[in-house]
Amino acid sequence: MHSNTISVGYGKVNPVKIGNTEPLAFIGGPCAIESKEHAFKVASMIQEICKKHSIPWIYKSCFDKDCRSSPDSYHGLGLDGLDILKQIRDEFGCPVVSDFSNPAWAKPVGEVCDMVQVPAYLCRQTTILKGAAETGRPIHLKKGQFMSPWNMKNSVRKIEAYGNKQILLTDRGTFFGYNMLINDYRNFPIMMETKYPVCFDATHSVQLPTSMGNISGGQREFIPTLTRAAAGAGIHALFMEVHDDPDNAMSDANTQLDVKYLENILVQAKTMHEIRIDLFNKYGADNVK
Amino acid sequence: MLSDINSIKITEAMFSTEKFPVISSTTLIKETIESMTKFNIGVACIVEDSNLLGIFTDGDLRRLLLSHQKPFPAIFADDVSTYMTKAPCVIQKDASILDAITLINEKKIWDLPVLDSNKLVGLVNLHTLVTYINSQ
């Protein structure tokens, strides 16, 4: 199925095109901005891998973690973290993305970030979607774990109604009973009916939401399998939270991918993506009625 | 008079556009069905800038339910343009009532959008025609 292409990146960064037959884009970085030093360290490690394999990438990290299970969990640096993201894009020349959970933060996020992210839990909140749309930046819209893929069209239409037509739709798993997510790969072609490109969030998909009392668990061992399957299914971008020491990460310790595995997984995903495009070129895109 | 149906124009007997569903191509199937139910009629006309794009009828709904295995919430969330009949039988506003009756009979259909060129100006169906004839 054909999708529109969106372009992420303003000013002096290397813009990343996502959609249709563009190379598979990677969106990744630590779940939360822990410190400037840590942000730069991980960005440097990702950049080296992406540069080596010519993978277009967008740095992702959050300045505020508002959906933690416990009030004692790390909440983030707040809006001050945006300055670190600004320095990342200046230093590495890559676009950056961050999410926001308060409509009042949309403007400052949009002033710094090349792409603004709508958290999955808030994917149908009109004021959040309006705020994201009005930044004028491309929007990374995550499908809520509770949402059907066809109902994401309502969120897309809200964003369009507020004047923004640069959207990336992401699947991060769907609730399967309590404390468990499952991936339904039908979500990709269904969400592509909106004509916008689609993305797979591999690390949140293996999350076991709040399965450990007051924090979420996760099964990182399934990241490679799910990623290969998603790339074959026709995604345009791959999202993964990456950390140099995930077990001691300040958030999402059970799902972030150790950067030592990143190259292997990215190369597999990139290869699967290219094979899928080759197959479509040779035999035509999916057209079964 | 019944003998005049060959000369009386269908604009005399048709519903004007506020009497039946006239909707956009992005109207959801759920909204479309609601609108048809509200007007108590088995057809909705899909337009863009008053130009007729297609129609969605009770028959389209029956065929849709038999030919698709999607769950109802997914069908409800689809745009009406996905399932509408894109080249429906239509009649121009200068046609006579007899022309409309003949066309409806020949094509075995219930509803005929009335156009001025491609602009939707009304609708005739069996009910409107029977009501008109009965009133004469």
Give the CATH number of the domain where residue B105 resides: 3.10.580.10
Q: What is the reported pLDDT for A73?
A: 81
**Per the CB < 8 Å rule, is B73 touching A190?**
no
Per DSSP, the three-state class of B24 is coil
For residues B20-36, give the mean pLDDT: 97
Q: Distance, in angstroms, between A22 CA and closest chain B CA? A: 27
Among the listed residues A8, A3, A35, the one whose alpha carbon sits nearest the alpha carbon of residue A21 = A3
Chain A partners within 8 Å of B27 (Cβ): none
CA distance A174 to A147: 8
Q: What is the pLDDT of residues A141-179, one digit of tens each?
A: 999 999 999 999 999 999 999 999 999 999 999 999 999
Q: Which helix or strand (DSSP H or E) is residue A233 part of?
A: helix A223-233
Counting the structural domains of chain B, the total is 1
**Per the CB < 8 Å rule, is A150 touching B26?**
no
- Residue B135 sits at φ, ψ, to 5 deg, of -80, -15
**A-interface mutation test, from B24, B27, B28, most A Cβ less than 10 A away:** B28
User: What percent of chain B has a predicted confidence (pLDDT) above 70?
Assistant: 98
Please spell the DSSP secondary structure of B45-114, one letter per residue.
Answer: EEEETTEEEEEEEHHHHHHHHHH--S-HHHHHTSBGGGTSBSS---EETTSBHHHHHHHHHHHT-SEEEE
Q: What is the reported pLDDT for A137?
A: 98
pTM listed for this prediction: 0.88
Among the listed residues B83, B79, B87, B77, the one whose alpha carbon sits nearest the alpha carbon of residue B65 = B83
Domains parsed from chain A with CATH numbers: 6-282 (3.20.20.70)
Q: Distance, in angstroms, between A149 CA and closest chain B CA? A: 9
Chain A partners within 8 Å of B26 (Cβ): 157
CA distance B12 to B17: 14
Residues in chain A: 289
Q: What is the reported pLDDT for B89?
A: 97
Please spell the DSSP secondary structure of A190-214, one letter per residue.
Answer: HHHTTTS-EEEEHHHHTEETTTTSS
**Is the Cβ of B78 closer than 8 Å to some Cβ of chain A?**
yes
Q: Distance, in angstroms, between B41 CA and closest chain A CA? A: 27
**Per the CB < 8 Å rule, is B77 touching A148?**
yes
Q: What is the pLDDT of residues B94-127, one digit of tens each?
A: 999 999 999 999 999 999 999 999 999 999 999 8
- pLDDT < 50 positions in chain A: none
With left for phi above 0 and alpha for psi between -120 and 50, is residue A177 left, alpha or beta?
Answer: left
The H helix count followed by the E strand count for chain A is: 9, 15
Parent domain of B55: 2-135
